[in-house]
Structure 1
Amino acid sequence: MENNWTTIPAVALRGMTILPGMIAHFDVSREMSLKAVEAAMTGEQKVFLVTQRDVEVENPTKEDLYGVGIIAEVKQVIKLQNNIVRILVEGLSRAVLLDFTDRAEYLEARIEACEEDEEYLPDNTKQAMVESIQETFGRYASVNNRLSAEIKRQVMEIQELDKLMDYISNNLPVRYEEKQKILEAVGVSERYQVLLTLLLNEIEVNAIKNEFQAKVKQRVDKHQKEYLLREQMAVIREELGEDHTESDADSYMESLKKLKASKEVKDKIKKEIERFKTISSNSSESAVARGYIETLLELPWKKSSKDNTDLAYAGQVLNEDHYGLDKVKERMLEFLAVRNLTSKGESPIICLVGPPGTGKTSIARSVAKALNKEYVRICLGGVRDEAEIRGHRRTYVGAMPGRIINGLKTAGVNNPLMLLDEIDKVSSDYKGDTSSALLEVLDSEQNNKFRDHYVELPVDLSEVLFIATANSVSDIPKPLLDRMELIEVTSYTENEKLHIAKEHLLAKQMEKNGIDESKLQISDQALAMVIRSYTREAGVRGLERKLGEICRKVAREVYEDKNRKVRVTCQNLERYLGKAKYSYDMKNEEDEIGIVRGLAWTSVGGVTLEIEVNIMPGTGQFQLTGQLGDVMKESAQAGISYIRSISDSYHIPKEFFKENDIHIHIPEGAVPKDGPSAGITMATAMLSAITKTKVRADVAMTGEITLRGRVLPIGGLKEKILAAKNAGIHTICIPKKNEKDLEEISSEIKKGLEIIPVERLEQVLKIAFVES
């Protein structure tokens, strides 16, 4: 067989083996296989067919294929839909796969034909082998019903050993791995042994299978008999008016039949019902078992509600219920679009972060309405017991499932919108860490098999749309935060609050207090005055309370005089709400020395801080007042260090810092203040006081300062710019690295403001200092 190799187009078969003399068809869809067939058709219409060891491999190499294949002749090629081709081939002869050539378009195999050794067998031996195979095949056919009468007849008629073995091999309904063993048996004696062993194994397997089927049939007959007896017992018990446990168990069984759940769940419930039957109804254990079974039957294992797929309707609902909050609405519509395109889509775990009263909880309800989902709210504020999330183990008296499972029971479907309210308020103690218990719930990679201690079965939470709310990101544990997608719900502008009051809050309070629309009108100017002078908050909760206060007073007037109609204006607002409580710190009228306007973020929005610096004769002391935190004190120290390093540029005498005291004060003195963002403000105020240079009254600034005078980025930019605008500021200095945040701030807020990004303190001083 030396140098008896040749090259030929090759096709790798998945899940089938073709033998010599066998006519078979198979579908080809892989690009390389299609090109190999095309190459064969343009040549001698011969192709080398070799079977893959692993059917999952997409681009097989020599190691992924068996060593022996077959040279086949392509009889017919039919093109089907979706770029699939059906090939009809006839197996010709065995061949050994030596290697593949470097051809890239398709597999071209280098093969060597298997020449059968001229094995001499006496006629008596051949006849004995033929009869042995025919007898064994007859026994196999008697226990296998898949063989046709024609195949059985043909086997008994063929007397040539080679033809008989090939015919049986081609018609045996066995796995491709077994046929591959026959293909690899080149010699007649070897092939005879392989085939005979295979037939004997199949006879044994079929005998065991038939034995099992007989046992199953016997068991089914037994169950039918038990069913009839149980029905008769139920009738007898009903007539005697005895124990209702059996009837309860039967009703549970009926519910189990209707339940949509996996086999694992149904088997578990069935086992519990069988156990329940054996417990006396007077036993305390009976109530425990009853509660557990009812909980499992009430859970929506595979019961889902149909989501709304109308993007326009969802957008309309969100816009009707809430003014602003564009990021949240956009994210919800993106989720709906993905769900429509993929038919499933991974449910995002969203965390809405923002100050109190900004509509985080209410927008979750609107999202549920827009997506046509069941809505479940779970308040986590103050929850410190891990069992509140994961449930109690059933060994405890009074055990019950956790809030997540109870939420699913309440919703009645496995794909509700579940609101985890105040997730930053969860705490931990000796009863366990609640935030750690939430990790599995909020991990999209794990929550498809969430295990509640009470239920003891994996529950799929992957279909649930989780929305969490929090006031502060810093209070959420980092591992929990990593599993959520943060969306900031920032403070409302005055204009946004005005729209919300007109379109939502006023109508809600009028309905709540029984006032008809014709009886009360509040002018836009009065609403603006309520927002500006009677509330100071980031959200609109306080605003709603003030509108409720107006409505209650009007309700009394209308009740006493049925014909009365009230119009609230700026002139009579004080009659309903009393004296104004708040006023904005407006900018100074004149440019002054040592007084600079800074910007700060608080839990109720942005505020302006007027930083004052005085220089006094002394011994070089440095004093800070106004309830400042450690970070703010360190910013002041960094600022004065930088000023001392550049004192020559501003002609400051070297003895100045030894002979004078510097005092920094930030009103209001009773309010604690901290954070690095007042760094450049304090440095500007100190340099102004030292050099006796006036600072522009219409300039405000925010930014952290370093020892080398660099200006570093800060947070809460929107709230700070809003506070500056309300105070009448015209020019604002912000860190250069915060410039990207300006794009997310609406043009309504930026209108009329000159916002200047700065990188160093020198740039701030050029803007803020009044040129003499």
Structure 2
Amino acid sequence: MNQPVIPRRLPLLAIRNAVLFPHLIVPTSVSRSTSIAAVEAALATEEKWIIALTQRDSGSSDPLGKDLFEYGTLAHVRRFVRLDSSLEINLQGLYRVRVENIQNNGRFLEADAYESVVARSTSPEIDALQRSIADLTERVQELTELKGTGNLVRLVQQIQDPLGQIYLLASLLSLDVQKEQRLLEASTQDELCKRMVEFLGYEVEVLNLREKISTQAASAMSREQREYLLRQQMRAIQQELGSHDSGQAELQQLREKLISASPPAEVLKESLSELERLEQINIAAPDYQVLRTHLELIAELPWKFSTEDNLDLERARSILDQDHFGLSEVKGRILEQLVVMKRNRTARDPILCLVGPPGVGKTSLGASIARALGRRFERMSLGGLHDEAELRGHRRTYIGAMPGRIIQAIRRAAARNPLLMLDEVDKLGRDFRGDPAAALLEILDPAQNNAFHDNYLDVPFDLSKVFFIVTANTSEAIPTPLLDRMEVVRLSGYTDDEKLHIAEAYLIPRQLQTSGLEQELCRFNNDSIRFLIRRFTREAGVRQLERVIGRVSRRVALAIEQNHPVAPDLSPTVVESLLGIPPFPVDARRPALPPGVAAALAWTESGGDVLYVEAVSLPGGREIQLTGQLGDVMRESAQAARSFIWSQHKSMGIDSNFFEHSGLHIHIPAGAVPKDGPSAGVTIAVALASLWTSRSVRSDTAMTGEMSLTGLVLPVGGIKEKVLAAHRLGLRRVILPAGNRRDIAELPEDVRLSIEFVFAETLQDVIVAALEVDELELRRQRSVS
């Protein structure tokens, strides 16, 4: 009966591309962390024993028990050298073992090992097999480069153990892993000898055939043709194996595919010429596969095939409304294009750039537009792309060359007029390998893309029928020449009411289906949805809202499975019990602002935001300190605001000692977030006026606008996003430049009605509105104090 080699579990070393035989000493390099840990565990014991087990698949980087053979060798770690990230060890094979119960203990694999003895025999058949092994070994040595190693048979026969002789011979002949493993798994001496005879016989047959092929090739060569040795040998192999005809048949199929693809006449002529050259190249030549892959790409591209556009206006409107709520501007633009395409079949497709904060549906909108038009949809992300060749392809002279992403997308779409979405164009990189934005100039230019040149394809391809849609979080990061080629459509953030509708119509049904819940078991009402929107999210889009809804549905499902079901009608109280304390307060605005603090409205690539400008006086000195990771433009705005207030200090009743004997420190919290832009100028001026007049700004008031040194308030961008941010935060009074009055019309009606707007032409207007005091009262307050 098999017994464990030792009464405890042993560390296990998974070996790739080799088999360790008993009685042999083999040097091994160990680099995987689990393997290093297993060796270290073996070295920590007195016996230094470890199980050496071969992987079934050498490509597995983290093998489990099912990935290893059942039979291996118990080994002794004789020597080890520690390098930077690996160990160099010598393993001495001891016994053949059968391995069971392989497990990972968290650091390395370990298992139980049972000695598996090979049954020996002294029959005449064994003697005959051993003599056959000796004869075949001598023949192998004659036919290979092992001639210089001396008499291989005598070398092997120096080992007394006949099993050890076969194991040593197997290691010297470099058999493949599967054959070596079969030798190790042989349970009897008779079986082991027979397998060795089989493997040696196969080696002799292959070597004889190779010698025959070499002789045939050499006889057909003159002195000048010797450089074609490998090509002649492969031709002889093809004739021996009868594979020449099948290769010609495949090339004939490729010819038919090229013709049926109907590329332009020049492209077809060049392709057929290349195919004729391919027919003359040996299949083993380096250029063969490169040229064939290139021709297959040409044959698979949709040179003529286009899908038929569905120009049904009502169907398109229904699909767009079904998939997305709101977004009226971009939907209207698509319907306009449908009408143009219906009236003018030769009209070019527009190149739209959807700009908006994350989570408002830019990417998913592309798929909906494709469905509405009846076109095939392909998407590629450009975020972090810094190699021009990723778009334009690599030249075929490079190893591993591939076509660019544009041609690959056309190939996948199998139509020359797909809708191709280029996501996150504002996050393109640039380095020494080229500028991807420059490559996009040709791709997105209607005057050039009808003959787009991909370096790998190396023939012009018409992209004029492709409907390109580009997305970005902000247009400021897009190079001006590239932006000039696109029609920018801005997508603003959603109001609370819009988020409520989106959650009811789209997010909740999708998350309930994902969690496997029926609507009767998990019913959200308006109060609970608004509770999630206001207390668990602070975003312009709905991405985080969907995550929170998904978390609620999963916890409801978990409670049901654990026989602790919650009430199906989810009130805010039930939601809070499921999710815990909300991360955002009921009213996130500051309840009361001390003098020197004012709320500014900002516009970022994530949507609108509210920032508080804080200013304090510093006794002594006249320096101004600016903190909060402010950019150069914002620093200049702070300097201009201080200069304006200083120039107007008499009319505002501010003591000149503040400027002559006091320093100033301006800080904008969220110091880890970089901030820049001119729109905080009026807010900084108001904060300084509040500080030096000791008058507080109303806590429900926020403002935005650029200021001039003479006190004019200049219009700024992003008004809709800024006002929506103020509305989300509970600020109900907003001071805007008079030049932005027209932008109020873009706001949803419920937002317009719930916010008091004050329009200012000068900084004096802003200060009076923010501090709620006129100029005379400022003077009186200053004189009294």
TM-score range, shorter chain: 0.5 to 0.7
Matches within 5 A, 1:559-598: 559-561=561-563, 566-583=568-585, 586=588, 593-598=595-600
2:392 to 386, 390, 393: 390
Aligned residue runs from structure 1 range 652-691, under 5 A = 652-668=654-670, 671-691=673-693
In the alignment, which of 633, 643, 646 is matched to residue 644 of structure 1? 646
Match of 1:492 in 2: 494
Change (3 A) 1:460 1:652: same
How far 1:697 sits from its partner (Å)? 3.6
Distance in 2 separating the partners of 1:625 and 1:281: 68
Residue 493 of structure 2 contacts residue 724 of structure 2 at CA under 8 Å; is this kept in 1?
no
* Residue aligned with 2:399, SS: coil
> Any conservation in 1 of the 2:637–2:680 contact (CA below 8 Å)?
yes
Structure-2 separation of matches of 1:489 and 1:704: 23
User: In the alignment, which residue of structure 1 is the partner of 2:551?
Assistant: 549
Instruction: Trace 1:30-109 onto structure 2 (pairs within 5 A).
Output: none
C-alpha contact (below 8 Å) 2:587/2:729 kept by paired residues: yes
Name the structure 2 match of 1:331.
Answer: 333
Give secondary structure in 2 for the equivalent of 1:432.
Answer: coil
Which residue does 2:542 correspond to in 1?
Answer: 540
Deviation at 1:653, TM superposition (A): 4.2
The answer to which of 338-347 and 561-570 deviates more is 561-570
Matched with 2:767 is: 765
CA distance in 1, matches of 2:339, 2:323: 20
**1:620, CA displacement in angstroms?**
4.2
In structure 2, what residue type is equivalent to 1:314?
A
Q: Aligned match of 2:482 in 472, 480, 483?
A: 480
Larger Rg belongs to: 1
Q: Any conservation in 1 of the 2:720–2:747 contact (CA below 8 Å)?
A: yes
Counterpart position of 1:318: 320
Q: Which moved more, 1:494-503 or 1:724-733?
A: 724-733
Maintained 8 Å contact 2:262/2:303: yes
Counting matched residue pairs gives: 535
Question: What is the CA-CA distance between 1:592 and the residue it aligns to?
Answer: 5.7
State the secondary structure of the residue aligned to 1:358: coil
Cα displacement (A) at 1:760? 0.6
Q: How does 1:281-680 map to 2 (within 5 A)?
A: 281-561=283-563, 566-583=568-585, 586=588, 593-615=595-617, 618-668=620-670, 671-680=673-682
Structure 2 residue aligned with 1:9: none
Shift of the 721–558 alpha-carbon distance from structure 1 to 2, 3 Å rule, reads same
- Return the offset for 1:450: 0.5
Does the CA contact (< 8 Å) of 2:556 and 2:565 recur in 1?
no
Kindly provide the amino acid, as one letter, of the partner of residue 733 in structure 1: I
Residue by residue over 1:134-169, the C-alpha shift from the partner in whole angstroms, topping out at 9 and shown as x without a partner, is xxxxxxxxxxxxxxxxxxxxxxxxxxxxxxxxxxxx
CA distance in 1, matches of 2:725, 2:259: 64
Structure 1 residues 592 and 393 mapped into 2: Cα distance closer, same or farther (>3 Å)?
closer
Does the 8 Å contact 1:592/1:697 carry over to 2? no
| TM superposition score normalised by structure 2 | 0.64
Contact kept in structure 1, 2:320 and 2:368, CA below 8 Å: yes
Q: Write the deviation string for residues 517-536 of structure 1: whole angstroms up to 9, x where unpaired.
A: 22211122111111111122
CA contact (8 A) 2:559 2:565 kept: no
Aligned partners of 1:565 and 1:593: how far apart in 2?
48
- 3-state SS in 1 of match to 2:476: helix
Question: Do the aligned partners of residues 241 and 768 (structure 1) sit closer, same or farther apart at CA in structure 2, a change above 3 Å counting?
Answer: closer
Q: How far off its partner does 1:615 sit?
A: 4.6
Structure 2 Cα separation of the partners of residues 616 and 420 of structure 1: 51
Counterpart residue identity of residue 372, structure 1: G
Mapping of 1:170-181 within 5 angstroms? none
The verdict on how the C-alpha distance between 1:438 and 1:667 changes in structure 2, with shifts beyond 3 A counting, is closer
CA distance in 2, matches of 1:240, 1:603: 64
Mark the CA change 1:279 to 1:600 in structure 2 (over 3 Å): closer, same or farther.
Answer: same
Q: Distance between the aligned counterparts of 1:626 and 1:289, measured in 2?
A: 58
**Partner residue of 1:247?**
249
Partners in 1 of 2:736 and 2:436 — Cα distance? 40
Q: Aligned pair in 2 of structure 1 residues 278, 512: CA closer, same or farther (>3 Å)? A: same
Does 307-316 or 398-407 show the bigger shift?
A: 398-407
The question of whether the paired residues in 2 share the 8 Å contact of 1:519 and 1:558 is answered with no
Per-residue Cα deviation, 1:179-199 (whole angstroms, up to 9, x for no partner) = xxxxxxxxxxxxxxxxxxxxx
735, 744, 751: which is aligned to 2:746? Answer: 744
* Local SS of the residue matching 1:571: helix
- In 2, the alpha carbon distance for the partners of 1:697 and 1:397 equals 65
Residue 322 (structure 1) shift? 0.6
Of 279, 282, 285, the residue aligned with 2:281 is 279
Matches of 1:457 and 1:552 in 2, distance apart? 53
Further displaced range: 313-322 or 499-508: 499-508
Distance in 1 separating the partners of 2:730 and 2:747: 18
**3-state DSSP class of the match of 2:644?**
helix
Amino acid at match of 1:470: A
Contact 1:584 1:727 in 2 (8 A): no
Label 1:253 to 1:571 Cα distance change in 2 as closer, same or farther (>3 A): same
Q: CA deviation at 1:672?
A: 4.3
Say which is worse superposed, 615-624 or 526-535, in terms of deviation: 615-624
Aligned partner letter, 1:566: P
Matches of 2:274 and 2:420, distance apart in 1: 30
Q: CA deviation at 1:425?
A: 2.1
Q: Which runs of 5+ in 1 are unaligned?
A: 1-236
Cα distance change, pair 725–243 in 1 and its aligned pair in 2 (3 A): same
Per the TM alignment, residue 244 of structure 1 is displaced from its structure 2 partner at its CA by 1.8
- Give the secondary-structure state (helix, strand or coil) at the position aligned to 2:757: strand
Answer whether contact 1:417 1:467 (CA < 8 A) is retained.
yes
- Shift of residue 660, structure 1, vs aligned partner: 4.0
Q: Tell me how far apart the structure 2 counterparts of residues 713 and 515 of structure 1 sit (CA, whole Å).
A: 50
Alpha-carbon distance in structure 1 between the residues aligned to 2:720 and 2:528: 25
Is contact 1:245–1:277 with CA below 8 Å preserved after alignment? no
State whether residues 418 and 464 of structure 1, in contact with CA within 8 Å, keep that contact through their aligned partners in structure 2. yes
Cα–Cα, structure 1 residues 275 and 737, in superposed 2: closer, same or farther, change >3 Å? same
Secondary structure of 2:572 counterpart: coil
What is the rounded CA distance, in whole Å, between the counterparts of 1:634 and 1:708 in structure 2? 14
Matching residue of 1:203: none
Conserved 8 A contact 1:536-1:604: no
Deviation string 1:387-443 (CA, Å, 9 cap, x unpaired) is 211112222233221111111110011000011112122223232222222211111
C-alpha distance in 2, partners of 1:588/1:537? 19
Identity of matched residues, % = 44
Distance 1:511 1:449 in 2: 46
Q: Which amino acid aligns with 2:746?
A: E
Q: Are the structure 2 counterparts of residues 244 and 433 from structure 1 closer, same or farther at C-alpha, using a change threshold of 3 Å?
A: same
Separation in structure 1 between the aligned mates of residue 731 and residue 243 of structure 2, nearest angstrom: 87
2:250 and 2:261 map into 1 onto residues whose CA distance is: 16
Aligned partners of 1:600 and 1:677 also within 8 Å = yes
Asked if the contact 2:474–2:605 (Cα under 8 Å) also holds between the matched residues in 1, the reply is no
- What's the CA shift string for 1:260-280, capped at 9, x where partnerless? 332222222222222222223
1:728 aligns with 2:730: yes
CA distance in 1, matches of 2:464, 2:253: 31
- Counterpart secondary structure, 1:597: strand
Distance in 2 between the 1:575 and 1:733 partners? 39
Distance 1:722 1:564 in 2: 35
Matched, 1:269 2:271: yes
The one-letter amino acid paired with 2:298 is L
TM-score by length of 1: 0.65
- The 2-side partners of 1:770 and 1:472 are apart by 35
Residue 609 of structure 2 aligns to which amino acid in structure 1?
Answer: V
Q: Distance in 2 between matches of 1:347 and 1:689?
A: 56
> CA 1:616–1:443 in 2, change beyond 3 Å: closer, same or farther?
closer
Shift of 1:250: 2.3
Unaligned ranges ≥5, structure 2: 1-238, 778-785
